Structure 1
Amino acid sequence: MASEILSTTDCETIVKNYLNRNDFEVMWYNLKPFFSEVNGFLGEHLLLLIDVKIKERTTTLRFFTKRFPFEHPMQSQYLNSMQGWQREIYFFETFLPNLERTLPGYSLDFVPRYLLGKPNDIIVFEDLTLRNFDLPRKPSLNLLDNQHICLAIKALAKYHAGSLAYEEYKSRELGKPYRLYSGEEELIKEPLIRKEEGFLGYDWFKAGVSGLRALINRVYKGEKPLEEVNAKFEILVEKALQLMFPHSNFRNVLAHGDLWAKNIMYQYEGDSSEPINVLLVDFQLQRYNVPIHDVLLFISLTTNRETKQKYFTFYLNYYYKEICNQLQSLNVSPEEVSMAYDEFLGSVTFIMPEIKIQGALQRLQQCGNKDFYTKLLGNKEEFIKFVFGDKTPFALELFDTDDNFRGLLTEAVEEVIESCLYPEIFREDCYRILEDTLGKSAYELKQYKTETIDEKEFLFKLEITVVIEKNEKEFKFLVQNKPLGFAKVIKKL
């Protein structure tokens, strides 16, 4: 098997890049499954073993290898349509070396060591288990704690700062604005959510949207007609599609694009469950977008409502502080790259409609139980229907039978409904406004609603109902939310 996938020359390249030396001889090599259970939707995960002879001593080296899913035609077609393999190779062979060469003192300590890449074939990395890296050691990968979340946010801040600083250094060198994406670069353009008939990424999007429609009909219990909610849902979906592209109103970065718990590896000491380091992995869905997109999607996919309400504003400020520190260490001011705090908050509001939709779509895809996925992967027709056809029957089955799925999707769908009915203000705006008002996050936000006061001046009446120490209380504010800005309280009513 190994000789059909890798040549001796390939192995020599891998070992040379890993050891940074040439005085060795490859004696033997083999490939076998890295895990005992199904893994890797966009590639087969393998363990590469290479026996290397150095000065009469033979050592076995281990490497993590991703193989293109040749045996799964639909997955192969899907990966080809988004050029996922080429994107990851570009990221490690072109983009990151450019950062390292251009930015003084910038280290790539937020990604694993890349050793070999062959388009639509294999990609080889160091075996992170040798450094005691693991998936999050949590009971549920859908719910991480503060320590895990903050480490990931810090790594994102360094990665994003590198992208922004690289553009700034190139702009200084050229004497004119330089951007990574001019509209032509295929390996940076939106890989997945593009409204193009026949494009498998769009089929994935439509399949998920059909499931969300069904769950909206199941979850919604409000006063307004369901028909109105569904009509406004279609508007929100269209807006989300428009927001998946680079934006001239804000600075963009080469974002990860698919940051959830299985695309982050944490380092632990021994059997401890407290992480000490983190690496970002799987860059097959990288896209050029506002930097906060990665952060918001990650928070959406790794927290529940209780955690998000308590820490959302903290996470935003933590990321902002870290990216500013990283930029300043590279002799770039936040203002030079349009990252002043008000602009940063404006980008949060700007991209939030897309986050509500994409977060719910990925929850719908990722939050089923192990038995559900094992059964699904054993039936190719059902698998294709789930991923690219119509998720409705699967969504309803999981909603009725899986408590964890029902809890997480109820929260996600309720927030989609809120965003449909009250697009002027998001739940996350309420968190910030309430913290500024109360000076704490010890409350439960029950509901909120808005009413337009002056459309031309973007003025709205915001009513928020909360529970504080078992007592229900209502707050009313006059809020202004101008385009490209963020919700600001004019006065308390």
Structure 2
Amino acid sequence: MTSDVLALEDCYTIVKNYINSENFRVISFKTSNYFDEVNGFLGEHVLLETEVDIDGEKINHRFFLKRFPYGHQQQGEYLKSMDGWAREIYFYETLLPNLKGTLPGYTIDFVPQYLLGKLDDIMVFEDLSLKNYHMPRKPSLNLLDEDHICLILKTLAKYHAGCLAFEEYKSAELGYEYRLFSGDEKLIQEPLVRREDGFLGYAWVKGGVKALDALLAKVAPSGLSVDALRQKFRILVDKALNLMKHQTKFRNVVCKGDMWAKNVMYKYIGDSTQPIEALLVDFQLIRYHVPAHDVLLFLSLTTDSAFRQRKFSFFMKYYHNHLKEELEKLQIAADDIQMSFDDYLKSVSYIMPEIKLQGALQRLQQCGSKEFFIKLLNDKEEFIKFVFVDKTPFALELFDSDSNFRALLTEAVEELIETSQFPAVFREDCYRILEDELGTTTYELVGYKVTKYGKNEGSLHVLDIEVLFNRQSRKLSFLVKSEEFDFARVVKKIK
């Protein structure tokens, strides 16, 4: 018995791995579309249903199957160019077993059960819906609440701690510093941003940057020279692209790399909207990078600026506290492996230009309406233009016609403008400084600007911040020190 998706022997392997037994016979199986709406962007989503005989009893099982996009040549070429299928198989068949086999008491409870993988063909997992796991039950996947976010940060902390601890255990075993990435491991190098002509990941980046450049004129405040802004934006893009790779000054992990709301699953009680557990799914874009990459990208793509202002510092501490706890369970002190809270905040500031750019690029890809993507996926020529050539015409049309896209991209581009103009201090630095100064996060950040301190050619800057606090406008000024591998630190308050 075969189908155009998989063969009988594949079904036998899937069921064997699922029930951890060989004492059964596959009676029948069938496949169908898992979703009625837009299918997966980097793979077709298929429902696999099997009927098996176990000691004379007929039992039905169902599984989630991800199929290589054979029917869409461009998607397939895109996946192959970044080794997407091979990366995910490496993650499940090599990395996770290594963590589990090396780390005492470490459990792999942050991903679905993986049952079968065939390169550039199929991958099969347990059907999480049977355990009441679903995509976020929120009106907008771009705007999650604190409970949903905290569960993911806790989940990431456990996974990241496993990667860090594995490197420590292997270093002790081998007698020299061991790292998962030495520079040659193809499946955990940067999957998208490699400045190689003809590389489709880089084409994706360049096509998105063109659209963001066009949106600058839509979003830039009046009185600001758009031409001058675009020159500064190009400097930011160049810096951000250089940061999209593993960092030698900070500890790295095998980051999930593609952190947004459709790549996480939440367990709910019944039909409630209160999540109680979370899992990570889809590992086709894993890369060796600082842990903050996953954290910051997820916050960038699931919150708006007002929410981040109130909760950013809290989320940074929440994640790091759980990372520290998970490392302690493995007999490792975070401070001893360059993962103190200060170390973590330094890495946050260092890679922030990358997050600002990548968050905006991802929003271009994710924030259009369902109808837009249905139409796009059914027109191969338009799909090629959107993904690999120039997103500008699509972005401008969506900006004018789709209020959700306009709101989310306006915020993303506004932050690109801030970061282009004031690369020494980020708005996230302002959040931390204002919380220390005001003792609260219940204010509105109106804006900020950064200027060099006097004739200083070094790292000292004047930071001017305007806020609405207790319904009154306040202007605060600080002398700050901003160095490359550190976060902006207040030297003194000026007024």
TM-score between the two structures when normalised by the length of structure 1: 0.99
* Separation (CA, whole Å) in 2 of partners of 1:124 and 1:27: 19
Partner of 1:177: 177
What aligned pairs does 1:112-191 form with structure 2 within 5 A after superposition? 112-191=112-191
Partner of 1:263: 263
Q: How many pairs were matched up?
A: 493
Aligned AA for 2:463?
L
Query: Which deviates the most, 217-226 or 24-33?
Result: 217-226
Query: Percent of aligned positions with the same letter in both sequences?
Result: 57
Partner of 1:473: 474
Q: Is the 8 A contact 2:209 2:361 kept in 1?
A: yes
* Separation (CA, whole Å) in 2 of partners of 1:2 and 1:251: 47
Q: Do residues 402 (structure 1) and 407 (structure 2) align?
A: no
* Separation (CA, whole Å) in 1 of partners of 2:243 and 2:320: 21
Partner of 2:97: 97
Aligned AA for 2:331?
N
Structure 1 pair 430–380 and aligned structure 2 pair: CA distance change class (3 A): same
* Separation (CA, whole Å) in 2 of partners of 1:48 and 1:276: 27
* Separation (CA, whole Å) in 2 of partners of 1:378 and 1:482: 49
* Separation (CA, whole Å) in 2 of partners of 1:455 and 1:288: 37
Structure 1 pair 455–89 and aligned structure 2 pair: CA distance change class (3 A): farther
Deviations 1:330-350 (A, max 9, x none): 011112321012111110010
> Which runs of 5 or more structure 1 residues have no equivalent in the other structure?
none
Partner of 1:433: 433
What aligned pairs does 1:72-83 form with structure 2 within 5 A after superposition? 72-83=72-83
Deviations 1:74-104 (A, max 9, x none): 0000000000000000000000000000001
In the TM superposition, what is the alpha-carbon distance from 1:477 to its structure 2 partner? 0.2
* Separation (CA, whole Å) in 1 of partners of 2:417 and 2:368: 22
In the TM superposition, what is the alpha-carbon distance from 1:378 to its structure 2 partner? 2.3
* Separation (CA, whole Å) in 2 of partners of 1:189 and 1:32: 35
Q: Secondary structure at the match of 2:464?
A: strand
Partner of 1:106: 106
Partner of 2:324: 324
Q: Secondary structure at the match of 2:250?
A: coil
Aligned AA for 2:211?
G
Structure 1 pair 222–352 and aligned structure 2 pair: CA distance change class (3 A): farther
Q: Do residues 371 (structure 1) and 383 (structure 2) align?
A: no
Q: Is the 8 A contact 1:2 1:31 kept in 2?
A: no
What aligned pairs does 1:156-305 form with structure 2 within 5 A after superposition? 156-305=156-305
Structure 1 pair 58–470 and aligned structure 2 pair: CA distance change class (3 A): same
Q: Secondary structure at the match of 1:125?
A: strand
Q: Is the 8 A contact 2:38 2:373 kept in 1?
A: no
Deviations 1:220-240 (A, max 9, x none): 015442221100100111111
Deviations 1:363-391 (A, max 9, x none): 11111112222222222111111111111
> Which runs of 5 or more structure 2 residues have no equivalent in the other structure?
none
Structure 1 pair 472–173 and aligned structure 2 pair: CA distance change class (3 A): same
Aligned AA for 2:72?
H
In the TM superposition, what is the alpha-carbon distance from 1:457 to its structure 2 partner? 4.0
Deviations 1:191-247 (A, max 9, x none): 011111100001100110011001001110154422211001001111111001111
Partner of 1:462: 463
* Separation (CA, whole Å) in 2 of partners of 1:251 and 1:216: 34
Deviations 1:253-305 (A, max 9, x none): 00000010000000001100000100000000000000000000000000001
In the TM superposition, what is the alpha-carbon distance from 1:105 to its structure 2 partner? 0.6
In the TM superposition, what is the alpha-carbon distance from 1:456 to its structure 2 partner? 4.7
Q: Is the 8 A contact 1:2 1:30 kept in 2?
A: no
Root-mean-square deviation over aligned CA pairs: 1.0
In the TM superposition, what is the alpha-carbon distance from 1:2 to its structure 2 partner? 5.1
Q: Is the 8 A contact 1:217 1:226 kept in 2?
A: yes
Aligned AA for 2:428?
E
Q: Secondary structure at the match of 1:66?
A: strand
Partner of 1:488: 489
Q: Secondary structure at the match of 2:187?
A: coil
Partner of 1:38: 38
Aligned AA for 1:228?
A
Q: Secondary structure at the match of 2:180?
A: coil
Aligned AA for 1:33?
N
Q: Is the 8 A contact 2:2 2:8 kept in 1?
A: no
* Separation (CA, whole Å) in 1 of partners of 2:196 and 2:325: 40
In the TM superposition, what is the alpha-carbon distance from 1:43 to its structure 2 partner? 0.3
Query: Which deviates the most, 185-194 or 218-227?
Result: 218-227
In the TM superposition, what is the alpha-carbon distance from 1:311 to its structure 2 partner? 0.3
Aligned AA for 2:53?
K
Q: Secondary structure at the match of 1:187?
A: helix
Aligned AA for 2:485?
L
The 4+ residue runs of structure 1 with deviation greater than 6 A are none
Partner of 2:4: 4
Q: Secondary structure at the match of 2:3?
A: helix
